Structure 1
Amino acid sequence: MKEDRPCRPLAVVGAGAAGLSAALWAARLGWMPAVFEAADRPGGQLQAVHQPIIDYLGLPARDGPELIRLFLDHLRQAGVSIALGVPIAGILHRTEPRPHFLLVPGKKTGPPDAGVPASTDRKNGGASVLCARAVILATGTRPRRLGVPGEALIAESAWSSTSRNAERFHGRAVVIVGGGDRAVEGALNVAPHAAVVTLLVRGAALKARSALRQKLPSHRNIRIFYRTVIRRIEASDGPGPRYRLLLAPSDGPPSEAGAGKTEESLPPVLTADDVLLRIGMEPVLPPIWTEASDPGRSQAEDAFLAAGGAMLEETVPEGIWIAGDAALPASERSVAAAVGSGMQAAKRAVLWLEAQQILSEADASEAGG
């Protein structure tokens, strides 16, 4: 595998809100980054936001794609380009002759998107290994899976939006797994159209905001089973609901503050036309290797999980920074937080690069003196 030389000073992996912010700040501070995005469109999870964005200070937008266009206009003015369709499969940390990282492109999946903005390109989408002195990982998160037999049956619709075209659930039996904001909000969106909406909550209480919880009693077709988990998903034979869900009590504590009460006994099997998963997010981080380590599970991902969902910078090699949702606890994830996190990562990366440059110049002076 050939290496693409010389090394770029800084690589930003991911072109969501955090990655775009990091790229803008790095360029502003005089270190033009190379930006790589696995998808064929920049914007990350903002591409799936179909509601008005009303809480981004000074810049309200009709939806996520509109905010992305505003971000890209800003980057275009700063001269930043984005290489699209370039997934990074792994990162190799080398220390000789100077600290640097080799970014190994993975296989691109999915068809190209015809509507790529003018500020983007695919010229770096070949098989060459990409070299950078420092790396900002802004690769975001993905929906967490159940990890149960039969989950593949619901793979295409498990994370479907409930805020867009909610009427498609008309007359259907919908099961939503989770008890947080997204689960309860989904139930409220679907309830006016569905025949019945069932919330399966692993714990003894909902974790959603009180403003959302207070709306549940007004929908008589929403029912909640607490301390409940899915053990298996099966395809249902014949007409009627598409899925059979084999249920079981969870291993949670028998009681806790604010515990909810299930109004009916837990059935061993539940049938459903749609099963939506709203059980949180997990990081999308490439494996990070040293020359002495074997390729395997991502060091960064292990650290994220050990930290309970918040990345600690001390757990990744010097010269790599994590930005955006992968660096933030779930309760703090937002567009504003991602933009701020990208700024912080860029400033720290630039300070580190400048310190490395000073050290390199000092070494060269000593060698020549």
Structure 2
Amino acid sequence: MSASNSETHPTHTRLLIIGSGPAGYTAAVYASRAMLEPVLIQGMQPGGQLTITTDVENWPGLTEVQGPDLMVNMEAHARAMGATIVTDTVTRLDLSVRPFVAELDSGARMTADAVVLATGAQARWLGLPTEEKFKGFGVSACATCDGFFYRGKRVAVIGGGNTAVEEALYLTNFADKVTLIHRRDSLRAEKILQARLLRHPKIEVIWDHDLQEVQGSDKPLSVERLVLRHVKTGAIRELDVAGVFVAIGHAPANELVKDQLELHNGGYVKVEPGTTRTSIPGVFAAGDLTDHVYRQAVTSAGMGCMAALDAERWLAEHSDAGLPDPAAAMEPAETV
């Protein structure tokens, strides 16, 4: 069922799943099989980050699949299992009361005995029009997702922190040459990573430059070169590449819970080791919202499974005893 108002979807559910990437849809499949009759709210980008990815070659069992197709199949699977899929966005989530309360963009209001958060994380982008134009066609934010497609080619990485250096080093497994472009004259990455980067024969660093424009072909869409600007002199130069990886960090989509749940590592929701339990009983988190290390579709799906199983067990334990007061567990959010 797809809906966007309170007249066409339940106003209360035992399990509310917020987010529709691999973590959310997998949680919906497992929760449905557990007869929890979950309701999943898709959010602003149904399918998550994979909907802007083209070829996916690291999903087990499929040698190649289009990112959007994979997410369509996962949504269909969740529906077939019995999950209610709602095309709407949660604008406010109150975890201080029982049952939990979600307010939706459509004006609807839902309550839930338990919640799985699967809102993901978004790569930080530069905001260039041409960057947007070539996303998925030579512009990427994930070397481990797309590096394989640049075997024997020249690529560039934008950034100067750990993420950028790690991406550049990873890309040397495929690319003929990797150029790291940084707007400063020194890197922010850990010293050991800097040492590996600077001594690698396939890597060149262009200091004191930022990206001004991505240029390429329209038929088909493909990247051919970058236009760079020297931040001190303003001088322009071009760099021929087949792909560019923007590696200026990721931002977990924690807006709904950043003042309610315990966070760590710059805003990722903290879960108990080996589980998906958050700092409030009955609230579980999965996928990139909690994962600052791997950020892969398959690990997100695995965590979605874990979240559904954790929620099932938690709901079973409290079906007779009553739901605990969430306020008793709430602590000020840690934002380091």
Task: Kindly indicate whether residue 260 of structure 2 is the aligned counterpart of residue 257 of structure 1.
Answer: no
Task: Kindly indicate whether residue 99 of structure 2 is the aligned counterpart of residue 100 of structure 1.
Answer: yes
Q: 1:93 to 1:360 in 2, by over 3 A?
A: same
SS of equivalent residue, structure 2 residue 112: strand
Q: CA RMSD, aligned part only? A: 4.0
For 2:314 and 2:29, the matched residues in 1 are separated by 17
Q: 1:163 to 1:92 in 2, by over 3 A?
A: closer
Would the aligned equivalents of 2:157 and 2:167 in 1 still touch at CA under 8 Å? no
Q: 1:250 to 1:208 in 2, by over 3 A?
A: closer
Name the count of aligned residue pairs.
280
Task: Kindly indicate whether residue 109 of structure 2 is the aligned counterpart of residue 129 of structure 1.
Answer: yes
Task: Kindly indicate whether residue 290 of structure 2 is the aligned counterpart of residue 317 of structure 1.
Answer: no
For 1:209 and 1:199, the matched residues in 2 are separated by 6
Q: 1:286 to 1:306 in 2, by over 3 A?
A: closer
**Structure 1: runs of 5+ lacking an equivalent:** 107-125, 146-150, 170-175, 230-246, 289-296, 362-369
SS of equivalent residue, structure 1 residue 27: helix
Q: What amino acid maps onto 1:83 in structure 2?
A: V
For 1:353 and 1:59, the matched residues in 2 are separated by 34
Q: 1:190 to 1:105 in 2, by over 3 A?
A: farther
Structure 1 residue 159 displacement after superposition: 5.4
Q: What amino acid maps onto 1:33 in structure 2?
A: P
Match of 1:139 among 119, 125, 133: 119
Would the aligned equivalents of 1:24 and 1:80 in 2 still touch at CA under 8 Å? yes
Aligned partner of 2:89 in structure 1 is: 87
Structure 1 residue 133 displacement after superposition: 1.0
For 2:279 and 2:152, the matched residues in 1 are separated by 42
For 1:63 and 1:23, the matched residues in 2 are separated by 22
**TM-score, structure 2 normalization:** 0.67
Aligned partner of 1:120 in structure 2 is: none
Q: What amino acid maps onto 2:280 in structure 1?
A: P
For 1:287 and 1:348, the matched residues in 2 are separated by 21
Structure 1 residue 181 displacement after superposition: 2.9
SS of equivalent residue, structure 1 residue 258: helix
Task: Kindly indicate whether residue 41 of structure 2 is the aligned counterpart of residue 36 of structure 1.
Answer: yes
Q: Which digits, 9 at most, give the CA deviation of each residue in 1:324-365, with x for residues without a partner?
A: 1112233x222221111001001111111112212039xxxx
Would the aligned equivalents of 1:324 and 1:337 in 2 still touch at CA under 8 Å? yes
SS of equivalent residue, structure 2 residue 160: coil
Q: 1:310 to 1:329 in 2, by over 3 A?
A: farther
Q: What amino acid maps onto 1:105 in structure 2?
A: L
Task: Kindly indicate whether residue 288 of structure 2 is the aligned counterpart of residue 283 of structure 1.
Answer: no
Aligned partner of 2:314 in structure 1 is: 352
Structure 1 residue 60 displacement after superposition: 4.0
For 1:155 and 1:43, the matched residues in 2 are separated by 24
Structure 1 residue 91 displacement after superposition: 1.1
Q: 1:304 to 1:82 in 2, by over 3 A?
A: farther
The within-5 A match list for 1:237-276 is 247=184, 249-250=186-187, 256-260=194-198, 266=208, 267=230, 268=232, 269=234, 271=236
Aligned partner of 1:78 in structure 2 is: 81
Would the aligned equivalents of 1:134 and 1:353 in 2 still touch at CA under 8 Å? yes
Structure 1 residue 203 displacement after superposition: 4.7
Match of 1:13 among 13, 18, 30: 18
For 1:198 and 1:59, the matched residues in 2 are separated by 28
**Structure 2: runs of 5+ lacking an equivalent:** 1-5, 209-229, 324-336
Would the aligned equivalents of 2:254 and 2:269 in 1 still touch at CA under 8 Å? no
Match of 2:299 among 323, 330, 337: 337
Match of 1:202 among 132, 154, 160: 160
Q: What amino acid maps onto 2:114 in structure 1?
A: A
For 2:91 and 2:160, the matched residues in 1 are separated by 33
Structure 1 residue 13 displacement after superposition: 0.4
Would the aligned equivalents of 2:95 and 2:260 in 1 still touch at CA under 8 Å? no
Task: Kindly indicate whether residue 212 of structure 2 is the aligned counterpart of residue 212 of structure 1.
Answer: no
Structure 1 residue 199 displacement after superposition: 4.2
